[in-house]
Amino acid sequence: MKVAPGTSRVAAALAQGTIGRSVTVTGVGLHTGAPARLRLEGAPPGSGIVFRRLDRPEAAPIRATLAAVRETRRGVTLGHDEEATVATVEHLLSAAVGQGIDNLLVELEGPELPAMDGSAAGFARALEEAGRIDQAAPAREIHLGSCEVVEGQSRASTSAGEEMRITYAVELPAPLGRMVFSGTLEGYRGEIAPARTWGFAADHAALEAAGLARGASLENVLVIGAEGYVNPPRFPDEPARHKALDLIGDLALLGARVRGNVEVSGGGHSLHVALAREIARRWAPGEGA
């Protein structure tokens, strides 16, 4: 991994937000295939997003921070140890950012969040139904400067800007080829949240053999075959949009609202977390990185 110089700063801005009432979401885990049920509750200012495993009452709550990241393969897993973790948190975290939710208690039964339809739309809808309320504390913001992180052929860079703008490039085999999506949080609900996780049909058997994708189906995954999309896409560039969705969720581990431009080419959760750690290092050395 290579890191280039850059700067960022933190400032107080709008009020922090949480939800006004509890809401429950159910489904199956994308990778475990296990039933998953979670309840979203409001949380006090400054608490961040905290996960509590109801089926492991002896385990300490897990706050969504960079320090809690244990795995970035095919999703982000958080935990204090290998015994009590929460997996595939990125879609919920992304939806929270999109809905302006800073503080949230997530009570989960099972090791993995439900996949829903493979996008963040179900989580965004649940948070919207719960209602956002302002809290008596200013939200923390990170105003980005210049920063670059490279892993192999993948690259992520940041620059200054008034709002979070994500530009994400994905290279896929023909006939799909290169696709680029660029958008802001203003269009999150309609342009980013509905984009589903995606994968290649040829990889499915290997993923299952590795204990992954056991809950995957054409109902919650956009599948890419030799001739292109196997099931109908919601957007022509849906894979790039979903990568932007994941990036927003992974940057939520900073515990602050990000303002500035983020450009990524060929990335994934590992690169996203590396970028977040570099941003955290420049913003607040030693805090949560």
Catalytic positions: 269
Lookup: tokens for 107: 């009570």
Q: Long-range contacts: 203-207, Cβ < 8 Å, 24+?
A: 207/74
**Closest residue by Cα to residue 96 from 124, 125, 134:** 124
Question: Do the beta carbons of residue 50 and residue 42 sit within 8 Å?
Answer: no
Q: How far, CA to CA in Å, does 77 sit from each of 125, 238, 253?
A: 23, 24, 12
Cα 260 to Cα 146: distance, rounded to the nearest angstrom: 10
Query: Phi and psi of 212, rounded to 5°?
Result: -115, 165
Q: How many residues would you count in the chain?
A: 289
Question: Do the beta carbons of residue 129 and residue 1 sit within 8 Å?
Answer: no
Query: Locate tokens 């105003």: which residue?
Result: 143
**Closest residue by Cα to residue 62 from 34, 82, 42, 91:** 82
> CA angle, corner 188, sides to 94 and 196, nearest 5?
65
